[in-house]
Amino acid sequence: MEGDIAQMGQFIGAGLASVGMGGAAVGVGNVVGNYLAGALRNPSAAGGQTATMFIGIAFAEALGIFSFLVALLLMFAV
Amino acid sequence: MATEAHGESEGLVFHPMDQFIIKPLAGDGPVGLFTITNVTLWMALTCLAVFALMVLGTSARSVIPGRLQSVAELAYGFIRKMVEDVAGKDALPYFPYIMTLFMFIVFANFLGLIPGSFTSTSHIGVTAVMAMMVFIGVTVLGFVKNGASFLSLFWISSAPLVLRPILALIEVISYFVRPVSHSIRLAGNMMAGHAVMKVFAAFAPLVLISTGVGLVVTPLSILAITAVYGLEVLVSFIQAYVFTILTCVYLKDALHPHH
């Protein structure tokens, strides 16, 4: 295992950036869980709100993808 | 992309990011602006697949649709209903563009799932062009349709007057982040999913190297590849759907900017 301290910082930074993806997991789970809770209470209104759920998932997921991108940039672009 | 960061490591049989390397189809020359690369090949195959389904599949125009024709009709009805529900009836003139986007992305994603193939949508360059086209088109459309009152999209009149400048700043920033998140969401999802599959695929032949650990790791990773592949089929469709539905949302903002 060789390398300089900058490379070590790169790897540690990439690992730290990946932690952000856990936040996206919590966010997406929250969106879908709340959708399901609402859908089970009022199933007749559930069908019309699937599109809204996917938009919510997309917004929550985007920030996790950003942290994944930071990790990738640290690994391959810096 | 991943060229110098690996090579001497003996842990994995191949690097999971190797599949995203762009290389010319013929020879090993440099990749220029007009070089025919594997991205070109798989994007052309995507267009051919869309053509085969939507044009050849529906060419019979039978009253009782066959298999191909009913798939094409389902896709058409699905996207048309989405445009109508999310963006409104007056967004229907822009339906062909949204339909094109959806079919291209969904076929690019699904073709990328064929083992050994190349996912063109896993490259930010490809998705950024699509997202920028949507962004520029929607902005121009907003100004053409509403004139200067399109700017009321950023000026939320239902908020208290003190908050409005701050909200306007936030709205402007989030407006300009749209193409970034729009493109990176698709590319990141595709790249991450395929990288995960290749990580497990690299662990699978471990039984050939060491029979001790390999006997446990190899069956587990083969199972994991199967499970992740199933998830990826779902993600491929959902990401195409999300890209399309966000296009509809942005289009709705351009047509009806008043909150």
A45 in a structural domain? yes
The answer to whether residue A1 is domain-embedded is no
Where do we find the tokens 């822009």? Answer: B94
Rounded CA gap, B102 and B242, in Å?
9
Q: Any chain A CB within 8 A of the CB of B242? A: yes
Q: At B3, give phi and psi (nearest 5°).
A: -115, -45
Q: How many CB atoms lie within 10 A of CB B158?
A: 6
Q: Which of chain A's residues have a Cβ under 8 Å away from the Cβ of B184?
A: 62, 65-66, 69
ipTM over 0.85: no
Encode A44-54: b = buried (16+ Cβ within 10 Å), e = exposed.
eeeeeeebebb
Reading the block at residue B101, the tokens are: 């986007």
pTM of the entire predicted model: 0.85
Number of domains in chain A: 1
Contact B185 A65 (CB under 8 A): yes
Interface contact A25, partner B, CB < 8 A: no
pLDDT at B58: 85
Predicted confidence at residue B6, as pLDDT, reads 43
Domain that holds residue A38: 6-76
B103's tokens: 């079919």
Among A16, A58, A75, residue whose Cα is nearest residue B181? A58
Of A49-53, B2-6, B76-80, highest mean pLDDT: B76-80
> Taking CB atoms and an 8 Å limit, are A65 and B241 in contact across chains?
no
Q: What is the CATH number of the domain that holds A47?
A: 1.20.20.10
A70 to chain B, minimum CA–CA distance in Å? 11
Give the sign of the dihedral formed by CA B44, CA B139, CA B102, CA B39: positive
Tens digits of residue pLDDT in A52-77:
888 888 888 878 888 888 888 888 77
Among A51, A58, A72, select the one facing B185 at the smallest CB separation: A58
Q: Which of B17, B174, B242 to mutate to test the interface with A (most CBs of A within 10 A)?
A: B242
Within a domain: A69:
yes
Nearest to A69 by CA among A31, A14, A27, A22: A14
Is A16 a member of any domain?
Answer: yes
